[in-house]
Amino acid sequence: MANLTTPQIALITGAAQGLGYSIAARLLLAGYRVVLTDVNREAAEQAAAALDPESTQVLPLGLNVACREDFDAALRATLEHWGALHVLVNNAAVTRATPVMDISAQEFAEVVNINLGGTFSGCQVVGQYMAEQGYGRIINMASLAGQNGGTSTGAHYAASKGGIVTLTKVFAKELAGRGVTVNAIAPGPIDSPMVKALVPEERLTGLLGAIPVGQLGEADFVGDMVVQLARPEAAFATGTTWDINGGLFMR
């Protein structure tokens, strides 16, 4: 069993804005030190400065999840800076609302490589390190789109997010015996820049009318769910997908 330092260290991908930023903020509030990564290094640095003006609890790094070597580099930088890594949140993703019959093979491969391939690389690289330490918490951001086929999102986005649900189970089985849990969270429409970019103002009323609870989800609440799964006490939860979708998908 790893020696759990206090505070623990959490790395979040795609955390310079949107849901990733909210997740980073909630982990920081819960007492974690945060490695805030993004494909845009400058944006990561700006987000880190906003969260932690003293620059003592947040480490900004550039990380392109489509490049496995970037995960290796981020892990090395984290260990050099803080000496440990306990939590990984695979959040980085892209979506494009291209009609399904118009998606090119190149565009499909690009979206899947970032969303699903990035999650795979993160689980593999960081999961191996955690297994060697005998402890770890991995949380993958899936989506309602991966469960119901998507509505406003592209087919490639929905397919990649469905793959994340399956990949979560694969790594959960692989790592369970070595103290590492792997879980997913599948949000529905969240009050976030991504949703607002995909759903024009004139369609927002219709979207809200289709959600049983009649409102968009809150990014901070999703962040709080990440905190719950990241806790050492969450050892009995692995291979799960937590649905946060306002009643749009029930099982």
Where residue 39 sits, what CATH number does that domain have? 3.40.50.720
The DSSP string of 165-201 is HHHHHHHHHHHGGGTEEEEEEEE-SBSSHHHHHHS-H
pLDDT tens digits, one per residue of 208-236: 888 889 889 999 999 999 999 999 999 99
Q: Would 119 be classed as within a structural domain?
A: yes
Instruction: Decide: 61 and 37 in contact? Cβ < 8 Å.
Output: yes
Contacts 24+ apart (CB under 8 A), 161-170: 161/93, 161/115, 161/116, 161/186, 163/112, 163/116, 164/90, 164/115, 164/116, 164/119, 164/140, 165/241, 167/116, 167/119, 167/120, 167/123, 167/140, 168/140, 168/142, 168/239, 168/240, 168/241, 169/239
Mean pLDDT of 150-172: 93
Residue 150 has a pLDDT of 80
Q: Would 118 be classed as within a structural domain?
A: yes
Q: Single out the residue of 184, 195, 234 nearest to residue 30, CA to CA.
A: 234
Point out which residues pair with 87 in neighbouring strands. 10, 137
What's the domain range around 89? 9-244
Residue 3 has a pLDDT of 60
Mean pLDDT of 70-95: 97
Mean pLDDT of 185-206: 76
Per-residue pLDDT for 81 more than 90?
yes
Q: Would 229 be classed as within a structural domain?
A: yes
Residue 226: CB partners within 8 Å, gap ≥ 6? 23, 26, 27, 89, 139, 185
Per-residue pLDDT for 195 more than 70?
no
Count of domains observed in the chain: 1
Residue 191 has a pLDDT of 83
Mean pLDDT of the chain: 93
Lowest-confidence range among 60-69, 173-182, 190-199, 228-237? 190-199
Q: Would 182 be classed as within a structural domain?
A: yes
Q: d(Cα 26, Cα 7) in Å, to the nearest integer?
A: 14
Q: d(Cα 143, Cα 199) in Å, to the nearest integer?
A: 16
Residue 200 has a pLDDT of 66
Q: d(Cα 109, Cα 115) in Å, to the nearest integer?
A: 10
Q: Would 251 be classed as within a structural domain?
A: no
Q: Would 1 be classed as within a structural domain?
A: no
Annotated active-site residue in 21, 32, 129, 157: 157
Residue 4 has a pLDDT of 76
Per-residue pLDDT for 159 more than 90?
yes
Q: Would 109 be classed as within a structural domain?
A: yes
Q: d(Cα 225, Cα 165) in Å, to the nearest integer?
A: 16
**Residue 157 annotated to the active site:** yes
- Give percent of the chain with pLDDT exceeding 90: 81
pTM of the model: 0.94
Per-residue pLDDT for 39 more than 90?
yes
2 compared with 166, residue with greater pLDDT = 166
